[in-house]
Structure 1
Amino acid sequence: MSSFAQWTDGDLILVCHLQPKASKSEFAGLHGDALKIRIQAPPVEGKANTELIKFLAKQFGIAKSDVEIISGELNRHKRVRIRKPQKLPAETGISH
């Protein structure tokens, strides 16, 4: 099990480190004990959080309403709950 990913009752809790204003939204390996995610949106008025939720929902095959930022709303370092992911992106290295 990865240090940045934890399963709880079928939900996946991810520890993420965001890099806003990237050229494209993508997974970018590890940043310490967190999964680094590049996000295209700038970190203003919640745009990066909105883009993160949209990106993770698409990558894990779930609705945006099933992605929740648990902590770190105003920080680059976040904890995110992914409810019942339908797929696990290979580039994350996460397994069930």
Structure 2
Amino acid sequence: MKISVIVKPNAKKVSVEKIDDQTYRISVKSPPTEGKANEAVIKAIAEHFSVAPSSVQIVRGFKGKRKIVKVLL
């Protein structure tokens, strides 16, 4: 399954908010440097969908706030 993700780095708390069927807003505490926010996004998505972090892959948007993420369910 592919989903669209809007990332909010440096947030006060980690949260996953569903905007519509294929779009999620994810807030992470990590800063957007050295891939730390991307790692936090992968972990948050994995917890939300109850899958292993290795089942979540960023397909597009490695350096931006808008990402396309593939989740293997």
Flag whether TM exceeds 0.5 (same fold).
yes
Distance change in 2, residues 1:68/1:22 (3 Å)? same
Q: Residue by residue, what CA displacement relative to the aligned partner does 1:2-33 show, whole Å, maximum 9, x if unpaired?
A: xxxxxxxxxx2110110000011102353xx8
* Cα distance in structure 2, aligned partners of 1:38 and 1:71: 18
Kindly, what percent of the aligned residue pairs are identical?
31
Task: State the superposition RMSD in angstroms.
Answer: 1.4
Superposed, 1:1-16 pairs within 5 Å as 12-16=1-5
Gaps of 5+ in 2: none
Residue 70 of structure 2, aligned match among 71, 78, 81:
81
Paired residues in the alignment total 71
The 8 Å contact of residues 28 and 40 in structure 2, kept in 1 or not, is answered as yes
Question: What is the TM-score of this pair, normalised by structure 1?
Answer: 0.68
Q: Considering Cα pairs closer than 8 Å and 6+ residues apart, tell me whether 1 or 2 has the greater RCO.
A: 2
3-state DSSP of counterpart to 2:3: strand
Using the TM superposition, give the Cα deviation of residue 67 of structure 1 relative to its aligned residue in structure 2, in angstroms. 0.1
- Which residue number in structure 2 is paired with residue 22 of structure 1? 11
Using the TM superposition, give the Cα deviation of residue 76 of structure 1 relative to its aligned residue in structure 2, in angstroms. 0.3
